[in-house]
Amino acid sequence: MNRDALALSAMLEARQISAVELMQATLERINAVNGPVNAVVSLRDPETLLAEAREVDNTARKGWLHGIPLAVKDLADVAGIPTSMGSPAFSDFIPKADCGMVARMRAAGGLFIGKTNTPEFGLGSHTFNPVHGATLNPYDDSRTVGGSSGGAAAALAARMIAVTDGSDMMGSLRNPAGWCNVYGMRPSWGRIPADPVGDTFMHPLATLGPMARNPRDMAAMLEVQAGPDPRVPFGLPRKSFLDGIDTEVSGRRIGWLGDWGGAYPMEAGVLDLVGDAVQGFAGLGCTVEAVPPPFSAAEIWESWVTLRAFANAGRLDPLYSVPAKRKLLKPEAIWEIEMGRALTSMQIQRASMIRSRWYACAAELFDTYDALVLPSAQLWPFAVDLDWPKEIAGQKMDTYHRWMEVVVPVSLIGLPSVCVPAGFGADGMAGAGLPMGMQLFGRHGDDAGLLQLAQAWHQATDWPNRKPPLL
């Protein structure tokens, strides 16, 4: 279970292993390590899964995922597997059809074994919920994995799966990747279409994306997930991300944003570790420069909180409007909905204007830089029994998600971003050190360029090879 997904795919194609053998090894691994981690939930019946693997062994290959076991984030529908979204309101919901992204993964031959855990409705970067409980960090089981793709990141780190999916509104592919020493990619908005359900025009904040232990697997998964849907606006054309991923990156310019001129409080050691890590790109022939704050952090936050509440109120109001279901919502969800309900049209317009100005400003930055860099989090993985951090470096957090503010400049304007491991810092289990990551982000549409930088970084560092203590 230490092999990469593309390596497993090649072995399956060459019949060096069978899908049954791979499924058996996957189930044995989950049985051995999932108990203390709680990353994979709603695991399907093992005999049914082995029967499906036998069938795969006797059918023509559909794609590179043919025979690869997959666990899908518990916000996305997989036919026949519960989609709880971490909420008691949906604890018994079993979809009859795949969502669009899952359908593409199935068409490429993936075998779905269950789900990966997530916070309730994906709200908050700490994976716990009243349906499946908390997911623990494989590098220190007293700490969080982050979220909302926390179960996915932990399952990768613990070698239960080789490649997976996630989603990202406010760092949900980046924060858990950084805290679990794996890779997570938020693609350009429009690269992976959402399902054509409800409003598809007004809320370009969240996106689906891939996660893996190396950039090549992540690029291959992105190729499966990506491509326009004619029923959904703003789609980007299908392209290859794996071809050319090993391109030389010497000569590229990297801008280091640090703590945005002091706007983002950082726990001791985070900025030092990531600051040292980003200088590693100089060793790859890149030019690395410090960049002063390019835009008002306060305005970015104002725009983000407004538009996020607007979006969350829109998607969760049907639950809030039913008193019996409202009682099942966590306080943070109710806060988001009520804030969104109270917004005026002029507040939403102002937030959109700020977003527009920041997008234009960022576009000018990418005339100079190929990528900008920020830490993937402002603090180390915190205690798993804490609902959310109330302060960082002595500064009080005024909302349940303010401590995640460092991811917002990317999310607000839909830029592509790859979280790469930055190394280890603060003490963890048995003094082994806790992981941290850094966000590389670039011009909208330049997903391939970021994957090339990530691949060069991986070849130079291979941080995921530093396995969790439980392994």
* Residues recognised as catalytic: 73, 148, 172
Residue 98, CB half-sphere, CA atoms under 13 Å: how many? Answer: 13
Q: How far is CA 262 from the centre of its chain?
A: 26
Secondary structure of 369-404 as H, E, C letters: CCEEEEECCCCCCCECCCCCCCEECCEECCCCCHHH
Q: What does the alpha-carbon distance between residue 23 and residue 318 come to, in Å, rounded to a whole number?
A: 39
DSSP state letters, 403-415: GGGGGHHHHHTT-
Buried b (16+ CB within 10 A) or exposed e, 379-410: bbbbebeeebbeebeeeebeebbbbbbbbbbb
For the chain, the distance separating the N- and C-terminal CA atoms, rounded to the nearest angstrom, is 11
**Strand, helix or coil for residue 289:** strand
Q: Which helix (H) or strand (E) holds 208?
A: strand 207-212
**Strand, helix or coil for residue 27:** helix
